[in-house]
Structure 1
Amino acid sequence: GLTTKAVELLQMINPIRYADSADKARKYRIEPYAAAADVYSLPGREGRGGWSWYTGSSGWMYRAWLEEILGIVRDGSAIRVEPHLPASWPSCKVRYRFGQASYEIEMLRDDSITGHGDNGTRISVDGVMAEGNAFALIDDGTVHSVKVTIRPS
């Protein structure tokens, strides 16, 4: 539906775009991962960020990307995966930490998937197929490999 438009809008407000080069970072002068309340336009200060960490927008940005676009939602001691990747993304990778454990989540499109479960998503954790679109999180201090295949958009 509106995934491509949502990603376009999120990219417009993504703070990294103000610091994605050395020159821009020198001008922006605040953390590229924290949304600024102000980006100055005064002569001599154009592009400089201000009032970072004074808004809750960083947390909302994180949730918008992680939960709404990537579809990774923590549900107690489990992760539910319902990706809404834009058509222009053939794949993506996410590292999700849970205590001392790390989950390397790779999502990719598979033309052979025409329907599976509710949303055409298949998940395997450490080579074992998960039931449905969720898997249990285990804080065992190891790195887990999660493969998520989704049908084409």
Structure 2
Amino acid sequence: HLIDDQNKLIQLFDPPFDKSSPHPGYIIGYPPGVRENGGQYTHGALWVALAYARLGNGTRAVELLRMMSPTEHTRTAEEAIKYKGEPYTVAADVYALEGQRGRAGWTWYTGSSGWMYRIWIEEILGFKLRGNRFCFDPCLPKTWKGFSFVYSYKDSSYSITVENPDGVSQGIVSVEVNGKKSSEKWIPLHDNGRNNRILIRMGALKPTGEAGAKGDKVTR
């Protein structure tokens, strides 16, 4: 009951502290439903989306990420008046206070914007960069048929295409590097001055003991 789809917020807890004994500490200094006192504390709320992604539910993970996106709160004049925050910066908190439910709190300073970026890139798109190599382990909504982007590495570039023809949330069945199939999970980065082409195809993995997207090899 902490996820409010209608008002696009995820409460930290409910009901909030009001007149509590024993005294819960500084948290009661905020009005009930504001910031940590029962409102949406975005830094923590983002971990709910992360958890859904790691459970393999890409559809719900993306729904929650969009729910916390300032753009989704300001698509119409009516929504913008209710939200009262900028459409281009993440709010640290969103009110659950009656009469102000769905209103943005503090903006511009929150570290939750970094978490939002990482969850989109690493958990949804599945692009994980570690030193001079990278791998993919996407968790997509089943309606997504794929995506593409270009990653720049020194004087080289990597044109990466992920295809999802079967509409799965997870599972990589093949990887091609510059037109050649690869069975390795990790793709090394080379400063070769080229535009390197990476093609990743998603699909249902074989229900065997073979290593899949999270192992050392790609399941065929």
TM-score (norm 2): 0.51
Give the corresponding residue for 1:144: 196
Contact 2:85 2:107 in 1 (8 A): no
* Correspondences of 1:1-153 after superposition (within 5 Å): 1-18=56-73, 30=86, 32=88, 34-37=89-92, 52-111=107-166, 119-151=171-203
The Cα shift of 1:4 comes to: 1.1
CA deviations on 1:62-94 (whole Å, 9 max, x unpaired) are 110111111110122111111111101011112
Distance 1:103 1:10, change over 3 A: same
Q: In 1, distance between residues paired with 2:195 and 2:71? A: 28
Q: CA RMSD, aligned part only?
A: 3.3
Q: In 2, distance between residues paired with 1:16 and 1:79? A: 30
The Cα shift of 1:14 comes to: 1.8
Q: Which runs of 5+ in 1 are unaligned?
A: 41-46, 112-118
Contact 2:69 2:90 in 1 (8 A): yes
Partner SS for 2:92: strand
The Cα shift of 1:52 comes to: 4.1
Higher-Rg structure is 2
Partner SS for 1:55: coil
TM-score (norm 1): 0.70
Distance 1:96 1:53, change over 3 A: farther
Of Structure 1 and Structure 2, the greater strand share is in 1
Q: Single out whichever of 59-68 and 95-104 deviates more from structure 2.
A: 95-104
